[in-house]
Amino acid sequence: MIPVTTFAERKVAVFGLGASGLASASALFAGGADVIGWDDDPGRVERATQAGIPTADLREVDWSRIATLLLAPGVPLTHPAPHWTVGLARAAGVEVIGDIELFCRERRRIAPKSIFVAITGTNGKSTTTALVAHLLASAGHETELGGNIGTAILSLAPPAPGRAHVVECSSYQIDLAPSLDPLIGILLNVSEDHLDRHGTLAAYAAVKERLVARAQGTAIVGVDDNWCAAAADRIEQAGKSVVRVSVRRPLADGIYVQGEQIMRAAGGNAKPIALLGGIGSLRGVHNAQNAACAAGAALALGLEAKAIQQGLWSFPGLAHRMEEIGRKGDVLFVNDSKATNADAAARALSCFEDIFWIAGGKPKTGGITSLAEFFPRIRMAYLIGEAAPAFAETLAGKADYAIVETLDRAVAAAAADAEASRLKAPVVLLSPACASFDQYPNFEVRGDRFRNLVRAISGLVAKK
């Protein structure tokens, strides 16, 4: 835990007592703050009280005595409408911040020169965050990994000289961190997302840009979309150090991917940094961008090309994101349960040629019509969950399919068909293009079930 001492002996209201909110309340309490926690869910209030966090209905407190409102990132700040606590705080002139802001203030107080890498983007931020942390750790740095990727930032070890913090930041978290100031900031890409929380794509992009605009050392920006390209220009014009990254074209200055090679260019002269070929955890153009941006951060922090290459080779990838479970003969089994929409599934489908595809679940708007270009790669689709009938209608006449309803039936059928196909490199791919909530509480549980089913297959050689 990081005890937050910047609010010692002051009263702090905490709203949203899920994992990150409870961690924030505990960190503030440990640092000497007078904490009042609350949540719209009575069960969360009860759990916080049992954990020793003082609670009270924030509608009934004296806001003139509150120093700040600590808002959990999932609670609306602006759209579709500010949460009622935000209205009370603003009426009383009380600042509204989040856990990333608490970390930044504490870091500036106790270890302002410590390594702090913050990563954002519409897609790829979890993989990039994990990869940056892996590169640093494999090169000998003591490294803390957290934020939006899973471990609440204030649950990590405190900032200290010689200790690196690598943190994934969602747009919600950035919105609540007005003084976010990483040493290295990474902005991967921007595409339409979370408009219900930010109002417009321009507003969403502006929030993302703030993370790199305030970087104290280097801003690393993927410039393959117009929003990020413009952001890179603005940040450079403001006098900041910017490293542009592209997987679409060579750059005269920056980092780009050419074939399977990550290149670094300066003044028109390019040198190789690392090879991506053969790294199963980093398949696809999207992962090439992730790797190139992570390599840029590593270079900015003084790692040499040899250390970066060794780190890339040993990167295990993330669970449920293009996770290689194992092989039976020539058949590769891949867990991409994190693909909860068509756009995410497209990234997986683009990586393979002979696919025995397990798809379905709770459908998203648009279904899988956008995936038509990948249908010729699908040898058979095994459809599960609520989306199965609609997916079958989309696939009819374009790819073979079977409605199997459940994941256990899908794995059994796909494994048997892939093995019998005699293809050179068949892949059984769970990439559902759907949420999991019709059959599983979350994509992690769905992915865990797939992994367990695959590992139970006789003759499987599990990936270590």
Is residue 416 within 8 Å of residue 396, measured between CB atoms? no
Please name the residues in contact with 202: beta carbons below 8 A apart, sequence gap of 6 or more: none
The yes-or-no verdict on residue 245 having pLDDT over 80 is yes
Q: What is the pLDDT of residue 193?
A: 61
The yes-or-no verdict on residue 371 having pLDDT over 70 is yes
Distances 13 to 10, 89, 402 between C-alpha atoms, Å: 10, 9, 53
Q: What is the pLDDT of residue 238?
A: 97
The dihedral through the CA atoms of 50, 55, 57, 60 has a sign that is: positive
308 vs 272: CA distance, rounded Å: 11
Q: What is the pLDDT of residue 374?
A: 98
User: Predicted confidence band at 192 (pLDDT cuts at 50, 70, 90)?
Assistant: low
Q: Three-state SS for 441?
A: coil
- Assigned architecture for domain 323-462: Alpha-Beta Complex (3.90)
Structure token pair of residue 387? 């989306």
Structure token pair of residue 380? 């058979």
User: Predicted confidence band at 194 (pLDDT cuts at 50, 70, 90)?
Assistant: low
Task: Sort strands 163-168 and 116-120 into parallel, antiparallel or unpaired.
Answer: parallel
* Range from 280-284, 291-295, 412-416 carrying the lowest mean pLDDT: 280-284
Q: What is the pLDDT of residue 61?
A: 95
What CATH fold (topology level) applies to the domain 11-97?
A: Rossmann fold (3.40.50)
pTM of the model: 0.87
Q: What pLDDT, in 10s, does the model give residues 356-370?
A: 999 999 998 889 999
Q: What pLDDT, in 10s, does the model give residues 11-24?
A: 999 999 988 999 99
User: Predicted confidence band at 199 (pLDDT cuts at 50, 70, 90)?
Assistant: confident
Helices (H) and strands (E) in the chain, counts: 15, 20
The yes-or-no verdict on residue 324 having pLDDT over 80 is yes
Name residue 348's amino acid: A
- Percent of the chain with pLDDT strictly greater than 90: 86
Radius of gyration over every alpha carbon of the chain, rounded to an integer in angstroms: 23
* Range from 30-34, 54-58, 147-151, 232-236 carrying the lowest mean pLDDT: 147-151
**Hey, which residues does 381 pair with through a beta bridge?**
357, 401
The yes-or-no verdict on residue 196 having pLDDT over 80 is no
Is residue 429 within 8 Å of residue 381, measured between CB atoms? no
Mean pLDDT, rounded, for 381-399: 97
Mean pLDDT, rounded, for 399-426: 97
- Tell the burial category of 50 from Cβ atoms under 10 Å away from its Cβ (0-12, 13-18, 19+): exposed
The yes-or-no verdict on residue 446 having pLDDT over 70 is yes
Question: How many CA atoms, within 13 angstroms, populate the side-chain half-sphere of residue 443?
Answer: 20
Structure token pair of residue 416? 């048997």
What CATH fold (topology level) applies to the domain 101-314?
A: UDP-N-acetylmuramoyl-L-alanine:D-glutamate ligase (3.40.1190)
- Which part of the chain is CATH 3.40.50.720? 11-97
Mean pLDDT, rounded, for 386-408: 97
Q: What is the pLDDT of residue 195?
A: 64
Phi, psi of 241, deg, nearest 5: -80, 120
- Which part of the chain is CATH 3.40.1190.10? 101-314
Angle at 156 between CA 155 and CA 159, to 5 degrees: 130
Task: Sort strands 68-71 and 95-97 into parallel, antiparallel or unpaired.
Answer: parallel
Total residue length of the chain: 464
Q: Which of 212, 73, 34, 49 is nearest to 153 (CA)?
A: 73
